[in-house]
Amino acid sequence: MQKLIRIEPAKCVGCKTCELSCSFKNVGEFAPSRTRIYNEIFLDEAKFITVTCMQCDEPWCEKSCPKNAISKNMATGVVTVEEVKCVGCRTCVSACPFGMIKYVDSTGKADKCNLCGGDTPECVAFCPTQCLTLDEEDKPLRQKMLRFVNTIKDGQMEV
Amino acid sequence: MNKGWKGQLLRVDLTAGTCKIEALNEEWAKAYVGGRGLASKYLCEEISPDVDPMSPKNKLIMATGPLTGTYGAANGRYMVVTKSPLTGTIASSNSGGYFPSELKYAGFDMIIFEGKSKHPVYLQIRDGKAELVGAVHLWGKSTNETEDAILSEFHGDAKIACIGSAGEIGVHYACIVNDKHRAAGRSGVGMVMGSKNLKAVAVRGTGGVQVANPKAYRDAALEAYGMLKENPVTGQGLGALGTPVLVNVMNQSGGLPTRNAQTGTFEGAEEISGETLASTYLKRNKSCMGCIISCGRVTKIVDNKYAGDGEGPEYETLWAIGAACGISDLAAITKANYICNEAGMDTITFGATIGCAMELFEKGLVSEKEIGMSLNFGDSDAMVKLAEMTAKGEGFGKKIGLGSYRLAESYGAPELSMSVKKLEFPAYDARAVQGMGLEYATSNRGACHVRGYLISPEILGLPEKLDPQETEGKAGWLKIFQDFTAVVDSSGVCLFTTFGIGVPQFTKFCNAATGTDMSEEDLLVAGDRIYNMERMFNLKAGIDPSQDKLPKRMLEEPLPDGPHQGQVSKLPKMLPDYYKVRGWGKDGIPTEAKLQSLGLS
């Protein structure tokens, strides 16, 4: 199975450390505008939602790239932009239904999460609440399912 | 300019309606660290200390530090520095949230507001460009409404700091609220903002902050994160219960000033404790930018006449609106806290002023007719009503808006104001915690807990446990705490991190960010420099050392109950020590030699 950044939204406290650590590692400065992981803050509802590229099995960005600059590594599953091939046409930006690949003005290239190229992703290393984990197994999904299961268990009467 | 900084400040002339970009003074940035220190340096250079705080000649400075907008601890803070209309001292109020970092991403380390606009305006900043726009349509709006209006008309991702009605109508302890729930709270900085007809500052920035030595910075961050996670206060306590964890702690210590500090224990403490808040109105905790502590309290009240939602109350608020007023109705306290936040009022001074008014009323110094209602200790309905009246400037609310000193003085009883230099002391009784009393007496902005938080050693035992009744050595402890706090406030990091990390970690952060090679000693000297500069401003403003005092009650009325029953503050014993440790004359005035050694003469 593929290792992915697993996200458990209920654990997020809205500190944006993921955005800070991502941009610091990948572009050399603390710049939330350059992050590849997004921590959105909803002040009124006090809800914090984090999203990033899920390294699709059949990536829209890869399929749409006219220069074959985007590829999915079959061993690691990571979808990567090859900068030398990228011409900055933004087709992938239009194609991705999740808004997880973007065009960067300063480089003229497409940019997306590559799980920090095989290391522990920096956002995962710095996330203070373990809202983000790198795992083959989707543990947050199992936790969510178990919460539902437990409501049934609690409601079940002995017969 | 060194990294860590953006290297430029924005100077906004509200009289002329112009915005100019200037290079940040690099030499000052190094000597005064940033934030509180650097902004105070600019203030001291640019205004006369005797200026009327409400005149256009006063300036209002919003300043980040070299670590603001980065990660590592809790790096999302800024300082508002001006001359305080409440105290007449130099004021610096700190806040977190997302606004401070955004200011740096937009290209500015600092904004200096000067003059006064003819009409209400607000400042829009977008990536290095700034302009003043009309704010007549925002005047009168709450802090929440103001932020929502600006988000929809300027930029949906903007970060906003603004005043509410309190700053507009001249409540002496109006604050500046950012990101809806964070406040540069004390000293009336919002009143100065309002006096300039400046309603808000809205910032959108897509730039970044670089550091001089990325590897060293990352290493320092990993070390600090580890220490903060392991520390029981920063790793667990503040996240789970927030600052309200202190209600029970301080009550058991006999140092929770109750009913305008007539006693030090409150029979209703359990009902207003962090534990009770967590099991009733608390929805969740939340962080500021780059913070791993997450002490923010998101709360909501339903099915109650005090229904509402927002953030808080914090510990000081639970004390001020609660214990200080003899009120144990948590819903009423939380509601008044919401009213204060939306009007932009400091909850500490508001609550302490109500407590003072209650004592004036019970002693017969102010009549029911004048207040418009009876006002006994414990009357939560009257308190909430007065919060609304103060926010609107109605009736007796106008008097509450003056703060406790001016209120009590107007009824011939200034000694009933629990304040120093006209700033109300917060939630620790100077008779039960001796070092804290010395802090109240000597803090540069009046009786304040966040200039030298000796509660940490005296009550919490961090970094080591001190006997709260001991006076010996407290002056030395306080000086180090005050100097270090000045550095932390100047760096752009939250003071709460200092429960878990200390001078070595801050030295590493500052050096790695700006490329300097400061020793730990150098950093503390910078703190000493900042402290002495603020002191000199106050002296020149006419706040002489005779003001380094405590309310008569702290010195002459022994605590009637609790573990410290019978104690009074031993300030007269500690103050000469303090002056000596600070290298000041016996008269409390920094000596020429001291000033010279700090480069301040």
Please give, rounded to a whole number of angstroms, the shortest distance from the CA of A45 to a CA of chain B: 9
Q: Which chain A residues have a beta carbon less than 8 Å from that of B105?
A: 31-33
Query: Looking at the complex, does the CB of residue A154 fall below 8 Å from at least one CB of chain B?
Result: no
pLDDT band at A2 (very low <50, low <70, confident <90, very high): confident
- pLDDT at position B93 is 98
- How many angstroms separate the CA atoms of B435 and B453, rounded? 9
Look at residue B129 and tell me whether its pLDDT is greater than 70: yes
Name the region of B142 (left: φ>0; alpha: ψ -120 to 50; beta: rest).
Answer: beta
Topology classification of domain B434-499+519-597? 1.10.599
Residue B446 in contact with residue B89, Cβ under 8 Å? yes
**Residue type at position B311:** E
Handedness of CA B303, B304, B310, B313 (dihedral sign): negative
- Our measurement of the distance from residue B39's CA atom to the centroid of its chain's CA atoms, rounded to an integer in Å, reads 15
- pLDDT at position B508 is 98
Cα-Cα-Cα-Cα torsion B330, B331, B332, B338, nearest 10 degrees, comes to 110
Average pLDDT in chain B: 97
Q: Architecture of domain A55-112 in CATH?
A: 2-Layer Sandwich (3.30)
Across the interface, which of A21, A30, A43 has its CB nearest the CB of B208? A30
Bridge-partner residues for B19, per DSSP? B12
Please give, rounded to a whole number of angstroms, the shortest distance from the CA of A94 to a CA of chain B: 22
Residue B353 in contact with residue B407, Cβ under 8 Å? yes
Q: Which chain A residues have a beta carbon less than 8 Å from that of B210?
A: 28-30
Handedness of CA B511, B517, B521, B527 (dihedral sign): negative
pLDDT, tens only, B179-188: 999 999 999 9
Name residue, tokens 């920063």. Answer: B234
Determine, for residues B286 and A13 on separate chains, whether the beta-carbon distance falls below 8 Å. yes
Q: Which chain B residues have a beta carbon less than 8 Å from that of A17?
A: 71, 290, 292
- pLDDT at position A158 is 67
- Sequence-distant (≥ 6) Cβ neighbours of residue B184 within 8 angstroms: B78, B79, B80, B93, B94, B95, B161, B175, B176, B178, B190
- How many angstroms separate the CA atoms of B526 and B366, rounded? 47
Count of other CB atoms within 10 angstroms of residue A44 = 11
- pLDDT at position B458 is 97
The arithmetic mean of pLDDT across residues B532-550, rounded, is 98
Look at residue B410 and tell me whether its pLDDT is greater than 80: yes
pLDDT, tens only, B73-115: 999 999 999 999 999 999 999 999 999 999 999 999 999 999 9
Q: What residue in A sits closest to B69 (Cα-Cα)?
A: A30
Helix (H) or strand (E) holding B11: strand B8-13
The arithmetic mean of pLDDT across residues B207-232, rounded, is 97
Across the interface, which of A21, A30, A126 has its CB nearest the CB of B209? A30
- How many angstroms separate the CA atoms of A32 and A22, rounded? 8
The DSSP secondary structure of A56-125, one letter per residue, reads -SS-HHHHH-TT--EEE-TTT--EEE-TTT-----HHHHH-TTS-EEEETTTTEEEE--GGGGS--HHHH
CA nearest neighbour of B157 among A145, A16, A6: A16
Radius of gyration of chain A (CA): 18
Determine, for residues B70 and A24 on separate chains, whether the beta-carbon distance falls below 8 Å. yes
Query: Looking at the complex, does the CB of residue A43 fall below 8 Å from at least one CB of chain B?
Result: yes
Residue B91 in contact with residue B187, Cβ under 8 Å? yes
Determine, for residues A34 and B208 on separate chains, whether the beta-carbon distance falls below 8 Å. yes
pLDDT band at A159 (very low <50, low <70, confident <90, very high): low
Query: Looking at the complex, does the CB of residue A38 fall below 8 Å from at least one CB of chain B?
Result: no
User: Of chain A residues 129-148, which have a CB less than 8 A from chain B?
Assistant: 129
Residue B550 sits at the vertex; the CA angle it makes with B175 and B467, to the nearest 5 degrees, is 100
Hey, what are B177's tokens? Answer: 């609220």
pLDDT, tens only, B455-510: 999 999 999 999 999 999 999 999 999 999 999 999 999 999 999 999 999 999 99
Q: Which chain A residues have a beta carbon less than 8 Å from that of B221?
A: 126
Determine, for residues A31 and B208 on separate chains, whether the beta-carbon distance falls below 8 Å. yes
For chain A, how far is it from start to end, CA to CA, in angstroms? 41
Topology classification of domain B8-204? Aldehyde Ferredoxin Oxidoreductase;  A, domain 1 (3.60.9)
pLDDT band at B571 (very low <50, low <70, confident <90, very high): very high
pLDDT band at A157 (very low <50, low <70, confident <90, very high): confident
Look at residue B161 and tell me whether its pLDDT is greater than 90: yes
CA nearest neighbour of B404 among B429, B431, B422: B422
Residues present in chain B in total: 601
Where do the structural domains in chain B lie, given as residue ranges?
A: 8-204, 232-424, 434-499+519-597
Where do the structural domains in chain A lie, given as residue ranges?
A: 1-53+113-159, 55-112
Hey, what are B127's tokens? Answer: 């990536």
The arithmetic mean of pLDDT across residues B48-58, rounded, is 98
User: Of chain A residues 69-98, which have a CB less than 8 A from chain B?
Assistant: none
The arithmetic mean of pLDDT across residues B426-454, rounded, is 97
**Residue type at position B474:** K
Query: Looking at the complex, does the CB of residue A34 fall below 8 Å from at least one CB of chain B?
Result: yes
Helix (H) or strand (E) holding B588: none
pLDDT band at A1 (very low <50, low <70, confident <90, very high): confident
As for the ipTM of the complex, it is 0.95
- How many angstroms separate the CA atoms of A79 and B107, rounded? 33
- Sequence-distant (≥ 6) Cβ neighbours of residue A151 within 8 angstroms: none
pTM for this predicted structure: 0.97
Determine, for residues B292 and A17 on separate chains, whether the beta-carbon distance falls below 8 Å. yes
The arithmetic mean of pLDDT across residues A25-51, rounded, is 96
- How many angstroms separate the CA atoms of B290 and B64, rounded? 14
Topology classification of domain B232-424? 1.10.569
- Sequence-distant (≥ 6) Cβ neighbours of residue B259 within 8 angstroms: B323, B324, B325, B326, B355, B358, B359, B377
Residue B536 in contact with residue B600, Cβ under 8 Å? yes
pLDDT band at A155 (very low <50, low <70, confident <90, very high): confident
Domain A1-53+113-159: state its class: alpha beta
Determine, for residues B70 and A20 on separate chains, whether the beta-carbon distance falls below 8 Å. yes
pLDDT, tens only, B275-314: 999 999 999 999 999 999 999 999 999 989 999 999 999 9
- How many angstroms separate the CA atoms of B381 and B76, rounded? 37
Hey, what are B93's tokens? Answer: 């109020």
Determine, for residues B207 and A33 on separate chains, whether the beta-carbon distance falls below 8 Å. yes
> Going by DSSP bridges, is the β-strand pair B8-13/B110-114 parallel, antiparallel, or unpaired?
parallel
pLDDT, tens only, B361-396: 999 999 999 999 999 999 999 999 999 999 999 999
Q: Tell me whether domains A1-53+113-159 and A55-112 share a fold.
A: yes
